[in-house]
Amino acid sequence: MKNIQIFENNEFGSIRTQIINDEPYFCLADVCHALGLEQPSRVKSRLKPDGVTTGMVIDSVGRKQNANFVNELNLYKVIFQSRKESAERFTDWVAGEVLPSIRKTGSYQKQLSPQEMMRIQLGMIDDHEDRIKSLESNMVIDYGQQQTLRQHVNKAVLNALGGKDTEAYAYISKVVFAECNRDLQDRFKVNSRNNIPRKRYEEAIDYVDNWEPKTNTKLRIDEYNRQQRFEV
């Protein structure tokens, strides 16, 4: 590991670099600061681990500190995570000034090919799509869907009870409503009807429309409604 070399830029500040195994490594904290990325640890979690290492740096008050450094491949991955308009200018500065300056020392010769750059970009796209899929998987039904599902539950329970004007409704409607909601939660493995995944909304509607009480509950409903018929 060679001594740290610092590159200065009026817009991006200081970027510390080191040569490790004849490859340039860039201080992750410096790069994140230049690109407006406020959580370097989160950025690091999206990088290739074999292109991340630690190096000794001197902080502003002269203390020795360990800092994360990333190789050129991961540097571009960091850049692609930035949403700042200046990220393109940062790329131009690194590619046009920093890397050529490092290469002049003769200790670093490798440059990423267009194919390697494309793989990096595709990798970031894949990461982005994975995050979108994860978000979609975790989304629950919205308010309108919650209300529609509630109406279907009400209808299913009323059908099971024989309507609102029955003895069964008067005496055990709460029990049957609770059973329907519990069965629905168990079916979709959620702790609340409103937490059903949005992508399974239609499945939930279909389940409720075909729901029936358990056998013992059916017997109780029949018993109450039979008493009503006898009284009439």
Whether residue 137 lies inside any domain: the answer is no
Are 29 and 84 part of one and the same domain?
A: yes
Domain tally for the chain? 2
pLDDT mean by block of 10 residues, the chain; 232 residues: 77 90 90 93 91 82 84 91 90 87 60 58 57 62 89 95 92 94 93 88 95 94 79 50
Are 82 and 154 part of one and the same domain?
A: no
Whether residue 122 lies inside any domain: the answer is no
Residue 226 CA: distances (Å) to CA of 143, 157, 185, 216, 230:
39, 18, 31, 15, 6
pLDDT at 107: 47
Are 17 and 103 part of one and the same domain?
A: yes
Are 84 and 155 part of one and the same domain?
A: no
Whether residue 87 lies inside any domain: the answer is yes
Are 175 and 86 part of one and the same domain?
A: no
Contacts of 94 (CB under 8 A, 6+ apart): 15, 75
Whether residue 118 lies inside any domain: the answer is no
CA 194 to the chain's CA centroid: 20
Q: What distance in Å separates the CA atoms of residue 167 and residue 164, rounded to the nearest whole number?
A: 8
Whether residue 125 lies inside any domain: the answer is no
Domain holding 15, by residue range, is 5-109
Are 101 and 149 part of one and the same domain?
A: no
Are 170 and 214 part of one and the same domain?
A: yes
pLDDT at 19: 87
pLDDT at 23: 85
What are the tokens at 98?
């920093």
pLDDT at 132: 53
Are 100 and 175 part of one and the same domain?
A: no
Are 94 and 147 part of one and the same domain?
A: no
Are 100 and 192 part of one and the same domain?
A: no
Whether residue 91 lies inside any domain: the answer is yes
pLDDT at 111: 53
Are 152 and 98 part of one and the same domain?
A: no
pLDDT at 119: 60
Are 151 and 93 part of one and the same domain?
A: no
Whether residue 123 lies inside any domain: the answer is no
Whether residue 49 contacts residue 93, with contact meaning beta carbons closer than 8 Å, is answered with no
- Residue in 59, 32, 58, 55 with CA at minimum distance from that of residue 44: 32
Whether residue 134 lies inside any domain: the answer is no
CATH of the domain at 23: 3.10.260
- Residue in 138, 103, 79 with CA at minimum distance from that of residue 17: 103
